[in-house]
A and B are shown apart, each in its own frame.
Chain A
Amino acid sequence: QQQVKQSPQSLIVQKGGIPIINCAYENTAFDYFPWYQQFPGKGPALLIAIRPDVSEKKEGRFTISFNKSAKQFSLHIMDSQPGDSATYFCAAGELSFGAGTTVTVRA
């Protein structure tokens, strides 16, 4: 049973574009929503995380938008660079992961 639904499965943008990844959850008990970045052949690494008491969080070029009433949250990558090409996973709580989104940023 997948508790977190993530979309799209993959996306391609040009350098400088803003890839947006969306996630939705069901369990309102979740109070921690991290995003992980994973490069091929490597383990995931925490990118940015948010709690439901705020609607937006920015760290560098990465922004999380959180809509508590809709039980949705999204990741925006501003001014994307080829080095941002990776798979991104959202999560709700500690152990409920989305299916992942492969982002390709073309130069």
Chain B
Amino acid sequence: GAVVSQHPSRVICKSGTSVKIECRSLDFQATTMFWYRQFPKKSLMLMATSNEGSKATYEQGVEKDKFLINHASLTLSTLTVTSAHPEDSSFYICSAGPLAGITDTQYFGPGTRLTVL
């Protein structure tokens, strides 16, 4: 099956710094990737849709200047949390897919645990 990786798996940073999270599709090309945020014991909250070669589409209430998304290639999307604050601490998950003409399934990465001190 399709594999999506995320790096780093965990990151701890000081308040005010920026953190970059990478999402890679390892064995397929993904023109579309999605970024989610998940609070403890809560569902997935879609933050933005990342399209290769174009600007990301952000969901209502998500600050695009704070959560910078870049989808520079068909296998890599990055999420940068700028000037992080403790309230940005969360579990961030990316997904890739669906694979057009093959499946409607999204393939999720393993997630990145961000802790802002």
Interface residues of A, Cβ cutoff 8 Å to B: 32, 34, 36, 41-46, 49, 87, 89, 93-95, 97-100, 102
Contacts and interface: CB of A to CB of B under 8 A. Distances in A.
Shortest 8 CB-CB contacts between residues of A and residues of B = A43-B108, A32-B104, A43-B111, A43-B110, A99-B43, A44-B108, A100-B43, A43-B93
A97 B41 CA distance: 14
16 contacts: A32-B104, A34-B105, A36-B108, A42-B111, A43-B4, A43-B108, A43-B111, A44-B44, A44-B93, A46-B107, A49-B104, A49-B105, A94-B98, A97-B44, A99-B42, A100-B43
A100 B95 CA distance: 18
Given A32-B104, A43-B111, A46-B105, A97 B93 contact: no
Contacts of B97: 94
Contact of A43 (B104, B105, B109): B109
Chain B's interface size range is 20 to 34
A5 B45 CA distance: 15
Interface of A is mostly: loop
B34 interface: yes
Given A44-B108, A49-B105, A94-B98, 7 more contacts: A32-B104, A46-B106, A87-B41, A89-B43, A94-B97, A100-B41, A100-B43
